[in-house]
Homo-oligomer: A and B are copies of this chain.
Amino acid sequence: MSPTTLKSRIQLKVRFNECDPLQIVWHGNYLKYFEDGREALCIKHGISYLDMKQHGFATPIVKSSCEHKLPLQYGDTFEVETCFQPADSAKLVFTYKIFKGDKLVCVGETTQVFLNESKELVLINPPFFLDWKKKMGLI
């Protein structure tokens, strides 16, 4: 297990337009909250969408999952805790926990891969990414 853990925590508020006729956040909108959490972590640590782009890579999501424990409603304030999960292969894995106060609302995970400028899947870790991992104390 890696000695370093990259984590971030942001606070968000449920928008009216994110709720459905059941008066709760529509399940698909949690992926937006995960994206907000992931972006906060990635910007903080220099591996955001724009950083990747500068290095010639796009990192589309190839897998996502979400498990709901409690609903969120319009007006609720909540926190997204995002955690970078080091992987050996050339991918980016993040896990998410959403909390309303001290209650766990949902958990999730996403996996991203690297595409080069020709939109081809890159199977080995790009050098800049290995450098970044070293700098972060992850390898």
Q: Does A123 lie at the interface of the complex (its beta carbon under 8 Å from any beta carbon of B)? A: no
User: Which of A15-23, A92-100, A130-138 has 4 or more CB atoms under 8 Å from chain B?
Assistant: A15-23
Q: On chain A, which size bracket covers the interface?
A: 35 or more
Question: A16-38: contact bitstring with B at CB < 8 Å (1 yes, 0 no)?
Answer: 11011111101111011001100
**What are 29 A-B pairs with beta-carbon distances under 8 A?**
A15-B32, A15-B39, A16-B21, A16-B39, A16-B49, A17-B20, A17-B26, A17-B28, A17-B32, A17-B35, A19-B20, A19-B21, A21-B21, A27-B31, A27-B60, A27-B61, A27-B64, A28-B32, A28-B35, A28-B64, A48-B75, A49-B75, A50-B74, A50-B75, A60-B68, A62-B68, A63-B65, A63-B66, A64-B65
